[in-house]
Structure 1
C-alpha cells in the first residue's frame, strides 16, 4: 500500500475530482502524507485556464518530479495539453482522473476499508463481496494486509445488494481483492450464482463486476460469460489484469495464469457478447522484463485491443520479494511506459471512435465538470452529456443518447 501527496489547482470541479481520487485511494488502503518528499507517489491535478497557469503547472510538475519517486499529472492541462509535459522532459505519468487510483495501486489487488459493509455514494452502491485473495504475487504488499479469501454466504451479499437498491442505488459495483475467487474458501466457485441472484433483485439498476484475476476466473469463464449474456442488468464489462504478455515475466511475478489463459477468456467473451468492454492492466519495467518481453506485451495489447487499459511502471513495495530484485533503470521503465501509453491511447481512441453516430441507452452515474453528467452505456463505456440542466438529467436517470464525438477515453452524447 502506497503513501501519496496530492495537489489541486483550478476550479471547484477540479477539487471535486481530487476528492474522488482521494476517496478511492483511501478505500484501497493507501494513506496521505504531509509532503511530496515523504510520499511514494505525488499527484498533480492541473488547471489550464490561462497561459500563465500552464507555465506554473509545468514548473510545479518539474519540482514534484525531483521531490518524489513517482509523479502523476492529471486534470485539465494533462488531458488537453499532456504533450507539453512530455516535451518538457518531465518524468511523469499523464493520466485521466479516473485512471489515477489504479495506477497508484501498482498492479496490486484493491484493499477496501477494514469493514466490508456496503456503501451508498450518490446513486452508486459499493458492495464488497469478500476480503483477501488466493494469489501470492511477488510485487504485491496487499496480501500482507488481507490474507486468504474470506467469502460471506451468497444470501448475505444478496441482501446487502437488495438494501442498496432500496436505498436508491442505480449502479451496484461488486468489489473485492479478486472477485473471481469468491467462494474458493468453501471449495466452490460461487461468483456466477451470486451475479445471477443480484440481477434478479427487483428494481431498475445496473451491476458492474470488479477486478477478477485471469487465474481466478479461467475455470469459470464460460459459465461467467453466459451469466453476462443473459442478464441485461449486468454491464458487459470485465476487468481482467494480464500484467504482462510474457509467460516468463508472469512466472517471475508468480501470477496464477499464463497468456494463453487470458486469451481464452477474451475469446469466450467475444463469442458470447456483441458489444462488451475488456479492461486490463500492464506492469512495465518489472525487474526481469527484457526488451523482448516488453515487445510481447505490446503485441498482446495490439492483438486483444482492450477498451480500457491501465499502464503502470513497476515500483518496489517494501517487504515483497520483488523489492529484493535488481531493478531496471528509471530511463528504461520510462521509455517502455511511454511506448505502451502511446499505443494505449491509439487503441482506446479507436474503440471510442467506433461509437460515434450510434444510439445507446445510458445510465447517468454522477455529475461531471461544469454542467455535465457522466453516463455509462451497457458496456460501461463513459459518455459525457453536456448542458445536463437543459436536458433535465441528474444521477440515477436512464436516457437514450446519440454519440456525437469522443475525446480518446470517453465519448460525448446528445439526448435523443
Structure 2
C-alpha cells in the first residue's frame, strides 16, 4: 500500500476529479498524508487559466519533485501543455489514469470486512480477500494474506441485496478474482458469475481484475460464461505487466506471455465487441532494452482497448526494493514511448466507434452537466446536457456515437429508457 499527498488547483471540476482519484486510492487500500516529504507519491492536479498560473504550477511541480520519490502531474495544464513538465522526473497523466499509476502494479486491497457497498447506482461486491501470488514488487500481500473465498451462495445473496437496493451495475472485485475458490480446491468464478447473472432485475455486471495466471486455468469456461450472459459486460482486466518472460520471472508473476495470450484468444474467439484491459510496469530493475521492446511488441500485437502504464517504484519490505534500480531517465523514456503507443491504440479504438449505435447504461455524473455511461464492452461514453434531456444515473440509453477523444466517446441519445415512476 502507498501513502500519497495530493494538491488541487483551479476550478470545481478539478476538485471533483481529485475527489474521485482519492476515492479510488482509498478503495485500493492507500492512504493520504499531509506532506509530500512523507508520501510515496505526490499528485499535482494543475490549472492553466493564465500565464501566471502556469508559472506557479511549474514552480510547485519542481518543489514537489524535490520532496517526494514519485510525482504525478495531472489536470488541465498537464493535458494541454504536458511538454512543460518534460524536464522533471514526473509522470504526466490523465486524471483517470492516476489511481492505477499509484498502485504500482499491485493488486487492489478490499475493505477489511470485505462487505458490499452501494455507491449511487453502482454496487461494489468484494467476492474474496487475499491472493495466491507472491509478486516480488507487491506490498499488498502483507496486508491481505492468502485468498479466502466465501461460499458462492453467500456472494449471490450479497449481489441480490445490492440489486434490490437499486444497483444497476455490479462490480465484482477482489485482489485477484480469477483465483476465487482456490482455497477450497475448486475454480468457482464461472459458476459464481452465472449465478449472479440469474438474479432477477435489470443490471449489468463487471468483473474486476483477474491475473492471467489465475484466469488461464478457467479461460475457456470463463469465455463461454461471458458469451452466454448478456448481463456481463464484455470486459476483462488481465494485468500482464511485461511482454518479457524473463521480467515476469523476476517479478515472480504466476504467468508467462503465452498464458496471457491464450486467455485473450479465448475471449477473441467467442466475443465480437469486447474490451481487453491490461497493465504494464515499465522500468522494473531487471528490465533490459530488449525486454522493453518485447513489451512494446506485445502491446502492438494484442492492442488492448484500455492500458495502464506504471513506472516501477520501490515498495518498502518487498524483494524488488533490494534490487539495483534503473535510472529515472530510462524509466521516463520507456514510459513515454509506451504511453504514446497506448494513446494511439486507444484513439483508434474509439475513433472506430463513431457512427455506430450502442446501448449504454448511465453509471455516474460527469463534469458539468454530463453523465458517464458504459456500453456493452464497458467502453466509456459521455452524454452532455443530461438535465435538459431528463437523463439520470441508472437510465439505459440508445445513442449514436458522434465524436471521440483518446479515452472515451461522445454519444447523442436516440432513445432513453428508465424505470422511474412518472411525475404526478
Per-residue deviation at 1:405? 1.1
Indicate which of 260, 273, 277 corresponds to 1:262.
Answer: 260
Q: Deviations over 1:35-73 (max 9, x none)?
A: 111111011112233333233222222221222111111
The answer for the alignment partner of 1:23 in structure 2 is 23
The answer for the alignment partner of 1:345 in structure 2 is 343
Per-residue deviation at 1:392? 1.1
The residue correspondences of 1:208-357 to structure 2 (distance < 5 A) are 208-357=206-355
Per-residue deviation at 1:312? 0.7
The answer for the alignment partner of 1:82 in structure 2 is 82
Q: Distance in 2 between matches of 1:183 and 1:242?
A: 22
Q: Is the 8 A contact 2:89 2:329 kept in 1?
A: no
Q: CA RMSD in A?
A: 1.1
SS in 1 for 2:137: coil
Q: Distance in 1 between matches of 2:231 and 2:334?
A: 39
The answer for the alignment partner of 2:410 in structure 1 is 412
Q: Deviations over 1:185-225 (max 9, x none)?
A: 00000000111111111111111100000000101001101
Q: Distance in 2 between matches of 1:383 and 1:27?
A: 24
The answer for the alignment partner of 1:106 in structure 2 is 104
Work out the number of aligned pairs and report it. Answer: 414
The unaligned stretches of length 5 or more in structure 1 are none
The answer for the alignment partner of 1:52 in structure 2 is 52
Q: Distance in 1 between matches of 2:49 and 2:408?
A: 22
The answer for the alignment partner of 2:38 in structure 1 is 38
Q: Distance in 2 between matches of 1:382 and 1:351?
A: 12
| TM-score normalised by structure 1 residue count | 0.97
SS in 2 for 1:391: coil
Q: Distance in 2 between matches of 1:33 and 1:212?
A: 30
Q: Distance in 2 between matches of 1:80 and 1:378?
A: 31
Moved more, 278-287 or 71-80: 71-80
Q: Is the 8 A contact 2:116 2:125 kept in 1?
A: yes
SS in 2 for 1:389: coil
SS in 2 for 1:388: coil
Q: Deviations over 1:147-206 (max 9, x none)?
A: 100000001001111111111111110000000000000000000011111111111111
The unaligned stretches of length 5 or more in structure 2 are 415-424
Q: Distance in 2 between matches of 1:245 and 1:67?
A: 33
Moved more, 325-334 or 54-63: 54-63
Q: Distance in 2 between matches of 1:255 and 1:119?
A: 30
Q: Distance in 2 between matches of 1:198 and 1:56?
A: 51
Q: Distance in 2 between matches of 1:94 and 1:408?
A: 15
Q: Distance in 2 between matches of 1:106 and 1:24?
A: 14
Q: Distance in 2 between matches of 1:266 and 1:260?
A: 10
Q: Distance in 1 between matches of 2:177 and 2:364?
A: 24
Q: Deviations over 1:280-312 (max 9, x none)?
A: 000011111110000000000000000110111
